[in-house]
Structure 1
C-alpha cells in the first residue's frame, strides 16, 4: 500500500504515541483523521499535520460510544474521502490488584468500575472503530489495513487484570479481522509495544527511569517514532497480515 495520498484514521491521536503516528504518516504523504476527545491538544496536533502539506481533520470522539464513532467515520469520509486504514491506539489505564489481602483478610478488590472503564475504551472502542472503518472501506472498495495497538501486557501483567485482558482481546480481534476481511483487500494486524517514552515516563524521577531501563535488554525505553515507523511498515507491506509485532527492546513480561 502506498501511503502517499491515502486516508488514515488514528485514535488517541492528540498526544503521545497516537500523535507520533499521525505525524509520521503525514510525513509520508498520508491524509490523516485524528480521533480523540475534544480539546486544544487535538486541534494543535491537527495543525502540525497540516503543516506537513497533507489534509488533516480533528474528529472529537468518545471511542466507547457507538453514536460518536459512527458520526466521526461519516465526518472523516466527508473531509478526507474513501478511507484506507485505521490505527486503533486509544487506551486508558486503571490499574489495580484483583484482590488485596493482609493476614488472610481481604482489604480491597478491583472495582467493577475500574474493569469496565478500561474494557469500554481499550476493547469496545477498538471493536467499534474497527467495525465502522471496515464497513466504510468495503462500501468504497478501498484496500488497506486496520492496526490495533496492543501491549506486551497482553500476556498478563501484575496489577493489570483489566488492561491485560483488553490488550489480549485486541490482538485476537486483529487476527480474526485478518481472516474475515482479506477477501475485501483489508488486512488486520497488531503491534505490542513494551516500555515507551511518553509524557508519563518522562515525568518519572531519574532514578526510577534508570531502574526501569536496566530491566530492558536494549538498555532504554522505546521512542514513539519507532512505533510510528512500525505502523508505516505494516501499512506499506501488503503481505503482513494477521500477526502481532512485539516491539519491546527484548523485554518480556
Structure 2
C-alpha cells in the first residue's frame, strides 16, 4: 500500500515513537488520526494531523475514537498500535537490607496489561470491525511489540503483553485475511524515547553496551520498519526486530 493512500490511526502518538510515526505518515501524504491520554503532547503535532484524547483501556473510548477518526478522515484503512506503558519490577525480590520479601503489585501488573495488551487488542478489534462493516480494503495493522517479548528481567508484565501482541499478529493475520487486512509487527530494541530515558542509568548503560551496533536506536530506525510493513503487500503475520543486534 502506498503511504499516501493511508487513512491511519496512531495510538500513543503524543510523544516518542508514536509522535514520530504520525509526523512521518503525515509528511508522506497519509491522513493521520492520533490518540493519546497526553493532550498537551497531542497539541504539539503538526497542523493537518487529526488528534483527540484516547484512553485505550476504555472500551467506550476506543469505539468512539475509531468512529470519530473514520469520520474525520473520510474512511479508515490502517492502524499503528503503539500505545504502551512500563511499570518495571521483579516479580519477587528480597530486600538486601531488611531481608523482607517483596512482590510486584497487582496494580502495576494490571496497568501494563490493560494498556499494552487489552487496549491494543481492543484497538485492533474496533478498527478491523469498522473496516469489515464498511467493506474497506485493503487495510494494514502494525503492532508495536518489543524484543523484550523473548524475556527480560524485571519486566514480567511488559514481556507478557509484548509477547502476546507478537503472537496475535499471526492470529489476526490469519483471521483477517478474508477481510483484506494484513497484520504485521515491529519489535524495537533499545530506542531513545521518553520511556527509555526514565530507565535506571546503570541498567541503561549495561543495555547499551550489549548492543552490537554500539548505539541506542532512534525512532527513525523503527519508522523505516513500520513503513516497510505498510508498503510491502507480501508481508503478513510476521514480526520485524529493530534492535541493533541486541539479544535478551
| Alignment-derived partner of residue 133 in structure 1 | 127
User: Is contact 2:34–2:42 with CA below 8 Å preserved after alignment?
Assistant: yes
| Alignment-derived partner of residue 97 in structure 1 | 90
| Alignment-derived partner of residue 242 in structure 1 | 237
Q: 2:107 aligns with which of 104, 113, 123?
A: 113
For 1:190-244, what per-residue CA distance to the aligned partner results, in whole angstroms no more than 9, with x for missing partners?
A: 1111000113445779887655432100000111011112111100111100000
Unaligned runs of 5+ in 2: none
Structure 2 CA distance for partners of 1:65 and 1:201, relative to 1, 3 Å = closer
| Alignment-derived partner of residue 71 in structure 1 | 64
User: Is contact 1:99–1:106 with CA below 8 Å preserved after alignment?
Assistant: no
- Comparing 27-36 with 199-208, greater Cα deviation is found at 199-208
| Alignment-derived partner of residue 149 in structure 2 | 154
Q: Does 1:171 align with 2:166?
A: yes
Shift in Å, 1:159: 0.5
Structure 2 CA distance for partners of 1:239 and 1:59, relative to 1, 3 Å = same
User: Is contact 1:176–1:242 with CA below 8 Å preserved after alignment?
Assistant: yes
Q: CA RMSD in A?
A: 2.1
Secondary structure, in 3 states, of the residue corresponding to 1:92?
A: coil
User: Is contact 1:196–1:222 with CA below 8 Å preserved after alignment?
Assistant: yes
Aligned length: 246
Q: Which runs of 4+ in 1 moved over 6 A?
A: 203-208
- Comparing 106-115 with 94-103, greater Cα deviation is found at 94-103
Q: 2:193 aligns with which of 185, 189, 198?
A: 198
Structure 2 CA distance for partners of 1:40 and 1:147, relative to 1, 3 Å = same
Q: Does 1:60 align with 2:53?
A: yes
Task: Write the distance in 2 (CA, Å) between the matches of 1:159 and 1:211.
Answer: 15
User: Is contact 2:95–2:102 with CA below 8 Å preserved after alignment?
Assistant: no
State the TM-score, normalizing by the size of structure 1: 0.91
> Which structure 2 residues correspond to residues 41-60 of structure 1 after superposition, within 5 A?
41-45=41-45, 48=46, 50=47, 55-60=48-53
State the TM-score, normalizing by the size of structure 2: 0.93
Structure 2 CA distance for partners of 1:42 and 1:204, relative to 1, 3 Å = same
Task: Write the distance in 2 (CA, Å) between the matches of 1:81 and 1:139.
Answer: 15
User: Is contact 2:188–2:243 with CA below 8 Å preserved after alignment?
Assistant: yes
Unaligned runs of 5+ in 1: none
> Which structure 2 residues correspond to residues 13-28 of structure 1 after superposition, within 5 A?
13-28=13-28
Task: Write the distance in 2 (CA, Å) between the matches of 1:97 and 1:204.
Answer: 15
Task: Write the distance in 1 (CA, Å) between the matches of 2:145 and 2:202.
Answer: 28
User: Is contact 2:85–2:115 with CA below 8 Å preserved after alignment?
Assistant: yes
Secondary structure, in 3 states, of the residue corresponding to 2:3?
A: coil
